[in-house]
Amino acid sequence: MKYLVGCAMVLSFAAAGSPVAQADSAPTCTDTPNSYTPGWQVGWAEYQAAMKSPSSGQSGFTTRTVDLPITINAPLAKVWTVYSNLRNDIGRHPFLQDIITHRTCNDGVVETIDFTALENVPMGSVDYPAKTQAEQRLYPADHYYLTDSYDQPDVITHQKITFTDNGNNTTTVNEHITFTADPALIGFTADNGTSSHRAYQAALKRDIENGTL
């Protein structure tokens, strides 16, 4: 899961291919460059290249998809605000150490956040310090968001998180997650990814319901 620091393709944020750039109105963007930003740019260029290559179109790669629904005893507006905030995952996701934001954009419809997730991923008796390059796109009017993430070597995750008002002061959140990786890595990727998502879902549910969040 290291990044190819020698890769010559280092994109500017403006060329990063974010869907926000295609919006009808010009987005308002805030850049927060930091020491992790070059890694995000290189990693995101590799992600885009992988998505365009035949191999990422499933030839030689394996895909697994899971749905992780959870019902939280709180109204939709509250659950959306807490659950869609990346910072609330820190301390609740079992691998996540920090979120480093590089750019946020808002065009009045979609808010896009480019970020690096710093994780300690357990591999046997040791933890591997991973840097996951990712982009989150929030659609608050429709109460769903999308997250794409990339790790070397071509480990790609697509997520669609939807929020449903059950009409009884509860909200059901479903994480629809697709993992794509080499067959040798797909079991580890999907199993670890699924278990970590279930863990932070349970922690978010607990802390929303007990008033911590």
pLDDT, residue 4, reads: 31
pLDDT of residue 59: 58
pLDDT on residue 64: 97
pLDDT at res. 124? 73
CB atoms within 10 A of CB 28: 12
- CA dist 31 and 92 (Å) reads 27
d(CA 20, CA 24): 9
What residues contact residue 112 under an 8 Å CB cut-off, 6+ apart?
18, 19, 20, 27, 103, 104, 105, 106, 135, 136, 137, 138
pLDDT per position as a tens digit, 65-109: 999 999 999 999 999 999 999 999 999 999 899 999 999 999 999
pLDDT of residue 52: 83
Provide the terminal-to-terminal Cα distance of the chain, rounded to the nearest Å. 32
* CB 35 within 8 Å of CB 4: no
**Bridge partners for 64 per DSSP:** 179
Task: Give the closest residue to 63 by CA, choosing from 197, 160, 156, 192.
Answer: 156
Alpha helix locations (H) across the chain? 37-52, 76-83, 183-209
Contact 169, 77 (CB under 8 A): no
* pLDDT value of residue 7: 33
- The pLDDT value recorded for residue 6 is 31
pLDDT at 51: 86
Please list the ranges in the chain whose pLDDT falls under 50: 1-22, 56-58
Amino acid at 106: N
**pLDDT for the residue 5:** 29
Beta bridge partners of 104: 30, 113
Q: What is the pLDDT of residue 158?
A: 97
Q: Name the pTM for this structure.
A: 0.85
